[in-house]
């Protein structure tokens, strides 16, 4: 009897379950996993079917209504951007940082030119470069690298030389942002905006005086331990320990980087988070009250309509920090070059630049736009760095290939 029972058990286990029924169970579970995997993911996937219609002959011929729209949207005192006289494609693909292009401008562009603008996002320069290297060529029209990456992109053959004749609005750009060392002839880049990396804090909770990286490290490891964050960006986080000891931000000296590593590892246990995407919310909710971040969010928090975050402060540390310029570039193999040129010229129109600046909180490189922005924006030290502090800013170069820095960063992330 026991034998029979055991045999029955084994039969169940062997025959019926292990084959059919249990395949069904696995199939159901796999279906669930498949659903999960196929659920739309947020960032950085190349537009799937659409770019196959790359042929520019598939025209949106400029509709006559756009001429009226052009004059309607030009609220600035400068002349409106002329409607281009060449045939525009029906799509344009923008490869951008997240939350870095005003939705108002997106709608305005689509309405004015009749072109559907699709935005795909990336989280860091390195990620953008890696994706382009892995076969992103021909998928996007315009990308937004930080200036120091543009030379790497140009060297890798990912950029097209710009036809300046099609970009008359470039005359609006401040000369300081042209002929940058990364692109001395401005063959490739159209400056977008510029900003700094520094210290952000909530003034109502973080009441200690803070003017330097030294203060930042002391407070982060001391009174505000567990309430400090840094952005998830090695190029920015390395600035703090290097400038703390007076080293060049672009140093590759092994000894100097080792000292930076020790500083970073000493800071690591006291961090609330290492995050570039949601730190604005973190500051709003005061899960962290002190951080190493970019200046745009300082302005956005300060000017929040609810008025709840007016106490947000921004500091350019006295030891110095970096400034960076974000740029528009035209990618090689762009499927919609005409629409892209129309965009690049249109975006340098002061009206559009004004909308962009107020949306992201970053200073525009465009002088004509500066003239039409509200005075409290232009005079806000968190946006336009005061002249006496300009000397503290240095330019960073692309160090993503440095193995020691990569190792230190991996160790830092690990904790």
| Beta carbon of residue 54, minimum distance to another protein (angstroms, whole number) | 25
| Beta carbon of residue 372, minimum distance to another protein (angstroms, whole number) | 37
Q: By the criterion CB under 8 A, which residues form the site for another protein?
A: 5, 9-10, 12-14, 16-19, 21-22, 24-26, 28-30, 32-33, 35-37, 39-42, 124, 126-127, 129-131, 133, 152, 155-156, 226, 232, 234, 271-275, 278, 285-287, 400-401, 403, 406, 409-410, 413-415
57 three-class SS: coil
Residue (9 or 252) nearer to another protein, CB: 9
Residue (156 or 386) nearer to another protein, CB: 156
Residue 173: closest CA among 33, 325, 281, 276: 325
| Beta carbon of residue 172, minimum distance to another protein (angstroms, whole number) | 33
- For 95, phi then psi, to 5°, come to -110, 105
221, 223, 225, 229 alpha-carbon torsion, rounded to 10° = -90
Pairwise CA distance, residues 174 & 191, whole Å:
9
For 315, the enclosing helix (H) or strand (E) is strand 312-315
Phi-psi region of 76 (alpha: psi -120 to 50; beta: other; left: phi over 0): beta
Residue (23 or 79) nearer to another protein, CB: 23
Residue (129 or 392) nearer to another protein, CB: 129
Pairwise CA distance, residues 269 & 405, whole Å:
19
Residue (280 or 352) nearer to another protein, CB: 280
Residue (124 or 353) nearer to another protein, CB: 124
| Beta carbon of residue 328, minimum distance to another protein (angstroms, whole number) | 22
Written in H, E and C, the secondary structure of 324-345 is EEEEEEEECCCCCHHHHHHHHH
| Beta carbon of residue 269, minimum distance to another protein (angstroms, whole number) | 9
- For 280, phi then psi, to 5°, come to -60, -45
Residue (242 or 271) nearer to another protein, CB: 271
| Beta carbon of residue 313, minimum distance to another protein (angstroms, whole number) | 21
Pairwise CA distance, residues 280 & 382, whole Å:
15
CB 60 within 8 A of CB 356: no
| Beta carbon of residue 184, minimum distance to another protein (angstroms, whole number) | 20
């Amino acid at each position: 009897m026991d034998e029979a029972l055991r045999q029955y058990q084994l039969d169940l286990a062997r025959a019926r379950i292990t084959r059919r029924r249990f395949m069904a169970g696995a199939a159901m579970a796999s279906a669930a996993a498949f659903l999960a995997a196929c659920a739309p993911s947020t960032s950085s996937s190349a537009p799937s079917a659409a770019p196959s219609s790359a042929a520019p002959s598939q025209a949106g011929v400029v509709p006559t209504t756009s001429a009226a729209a052009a004059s309607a949207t030009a609220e600035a005192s400068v002349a409106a951007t002329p409607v281009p006289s060449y045939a525009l494609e029906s799509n344009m693909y923008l490869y951008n940082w997240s939350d870095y292009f005003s939705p108002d401008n997106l709608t305005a562009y689509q309405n004015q030119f009749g072109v559907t603008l699709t935005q795909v996002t990336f989280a860091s320069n390195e990620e953008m470069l890696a994706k382009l290297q892995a076969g992103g060529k021909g998928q996007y029209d315009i990308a937004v690298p930080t200036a120091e990456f543009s030379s790497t992109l140009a060297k890798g053959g990912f950029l097209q030389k710009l036809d300046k004749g099609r970009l008359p609005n470039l005359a609006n750009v401040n000369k300081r942002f042209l002929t940058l060392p990364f692109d001395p002839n401005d063959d490739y880049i159209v400056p977008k905006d510029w900003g700094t990396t520094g210290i952000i804090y909530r003034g109502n909770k973080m009441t200690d005086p803070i003017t330097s990286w030294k203060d930042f490290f002391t407070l982060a490891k001391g009174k505000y331990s567990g309430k400090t964050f840094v952005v998830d960006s090695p190029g920015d986080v390395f600035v703090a320990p290097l400038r703390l000891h007076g080293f060049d931000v672009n140093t590759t000296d092994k000894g100097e980087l080792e000292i930076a590593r020790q500083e970073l590892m000493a800071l690591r246990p006291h961090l609330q988070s290492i995050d570039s995407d949601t730190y604005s919310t973190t500051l709003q909710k005061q899960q962290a009250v002190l951080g190493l971040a970019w200046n745009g969010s300082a302005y956005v928090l300060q000017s929040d309509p609810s008025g709840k975050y007016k106490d947000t402060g921004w500091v350019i540390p006295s030891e110095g920090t970096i400034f960076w310029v974000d740029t528009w570039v035209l990618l090689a193999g762009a499927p919609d070059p005409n629409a892209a040129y129309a965009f690049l010229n249109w975006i340098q129109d002061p009206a559009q630049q004004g909308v962009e600046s107020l949306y992201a909180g970053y200073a525009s490189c465009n002088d004509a736009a500066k003239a039409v922005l509200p005075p409290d924006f232009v005079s806000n030290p968190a946006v336009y760095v005061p002249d006496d502090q300009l000397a503290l800013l240095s330019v960073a170069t692309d160090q993503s290939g440095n193995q020691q820095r990569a190792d230190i960063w991996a160790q830092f992330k690990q904790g």
